[in-house]
């Protein structure tokens, strides 16, 4: 652990570095639980940071597209910033047009978390008070980052509440397996373990339809490059200006708590491979559509459109308003638990 600096209002921020015997290294800070760096080797043993991010605390305090952050209370969008629960109506903060996105204007990504060191990792804790950003209940959240000797970054989420609420947690890291700042992700080869995705309207709110991927740019069941689909004329791609969709993961034969393979990404030049394993039912694939060359990354290079991708394990967007989607309700006496692993290797 080292001191990372002080926020504008004087709060001290810590940085933790995890490193295994193979040399893989992961860094995180207590502001937003942000993963600032993930260094992994290529097929020749050369290490590079494959996570987009910044060099300074000031950059992380300024506006940015959630690089590396824990997002919540509710990751992704809730239409109109409204939902009803047990006959009561709740109005959330709106920070995405007329909708609520990633927990509102001051979500978990902007909160200072408390950290404690563990064997092989670090645990971050934050207690969200009742009515924070309009959400009901006092919510106590723990997020544990750990690094295995097999080059897997493991993220364990847990939470309890004192009143009925809704919850959807994820990490919003952006990846480029060539190395951050090394260009577009168009030639990355992606496999998604999903037969369906949730179609969206012009505001990126799910319509409620669970659509088949067959014959569309959303069919990644067999590995293929990202670029052609990112530029396709499909109406869903045009509305979102690229991929920014929730995929319904195949979990046949798995029970709650079992890790299942969600995605595999291969970058041919470096040989780097990243697999995503999760207990969650959904995965948001976002191809960096709105990176617009206004942000300078930790390499000193500008981030342009599709210079990174996110694979956010999650429950579905707008689930509180879609009874047919998996429930995101958490009640007193229950414990929310979720696990995701990003496993790195070479091929």
**Residues annotated as catalytic (active site), given as ranges:** 172, 312
| DSSP codes, 231-251 | T---HHHHHHTS-EEEEEE--
Q: How far apart are the C-alpha atoms of 294 and 216, rounded to whole Å?
A: 32
CA angle, residues 17, 18, 23, in degrees to nearest 5 = 115
Q: How far apart are the C-alpha atoms of 96 and 108, rounded to whole Å?
A: 16
Q: How far apart are the first and last CA of the chain?
A: 33
Q: Is 134 helix (H, G, I), strand (E, B) or coil?
A: helix
- Which residues share a beta bridge with 89? 84
Whether the CB-CB separation of 129 and 138 falls below 8 Å is answered with yes
Q: How far apart are the C-alpha atoms of 272 and 292, rounded to whole Å?
A: 26
Q: Count CB-CB contacts under 10 A for residue 228.
A: 10
Cα 214–chain centre separation: 25
Q: Is 63 exposed, middle or buried (0-12, 13-18, 19+ CB in 10 A)?
A: exposed
Q: Is 11 exposed, middle or buried (0-12, 13-18, 19+ CB in 10 A)?
A: exposed
Cα-Cα-Cα-Cα torsion 295, 227, 70, 320, nearest 10 degrees, comes to 120
Cα 29–chain centre separation: 16
Residues in the chain: 347
User: CB-based contacts of 179: which residues, under 8 Å, 6+ apart?
Assistant: 48, 49, 50, 270, 299
């Amino acid at each position: 652990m080292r001191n990372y600096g002080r926020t504008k209002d004087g709060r001290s921020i810590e940085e933790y570095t995890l490193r295994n015997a193979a040399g893989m290294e992961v860094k995180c800070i207590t502001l937003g639980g942000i993963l600032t760096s993930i260094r992994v080797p290529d097929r020749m043993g050369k290490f590079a940071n494959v996570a987009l991010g910044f060099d300074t605390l000031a950059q992380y305090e300024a506006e940015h597209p959630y690089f590396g952050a824990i997002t919540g209370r509710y990751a992704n969008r809730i239409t109109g910033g409204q939902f009803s629960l047990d006959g009561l109506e709740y109005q959330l903060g709106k920070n995405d047009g007329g909708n609520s996105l990633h927990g509102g204007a001051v979500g978990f990504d902007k909160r200072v978390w408390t950290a404690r060191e563990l064997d092989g990792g670090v645990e971050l804790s934050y207690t969200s008070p009742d009515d924070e950003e309009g959400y009901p209940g006092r919510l106590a959240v723990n997020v544990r980052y750990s690094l295995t000797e097999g080059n897997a970054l493991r993220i364990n989420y847990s939470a309890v509440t004192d009143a009925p609420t809704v919850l959807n947690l994820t990490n919003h890291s952006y990846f480029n397996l060539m190395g951050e700042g090394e260009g577009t992700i168009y030639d990355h080869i992606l496999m998604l373990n999903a037969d369906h995705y949730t179609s969206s309207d012009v505001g990126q709110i799910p319509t409620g339809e669970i659509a088949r991927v067959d014959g569309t740019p959303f069919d990644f069941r067999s590995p293929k490059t990202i670029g052609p689909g990112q530029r396709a004329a499909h109406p869903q791609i045009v509305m979102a200006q690229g991929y920014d969709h929730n995929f319904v993961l195949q979990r046949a034969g798995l029970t709650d708590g079992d890790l299942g393979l969600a995605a595999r990404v291969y970058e041919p030049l470096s040989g780097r491979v990243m697999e995503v394993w999760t207990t969650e039912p959904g995965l948001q694939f976002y191809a960096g559509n709105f990176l617009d060359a206004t942000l300078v990354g930790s390499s000193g290079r500008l981030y342009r459109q599709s210079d990174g991708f996110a694979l956010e394990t999650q429950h579905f967007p707008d689930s509180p308003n879609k009874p047919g989607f998996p429930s995101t309700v958490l009640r007193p006496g229950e414990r929310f638990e979720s696990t995701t692993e990003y496993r790195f290797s070479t091929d």
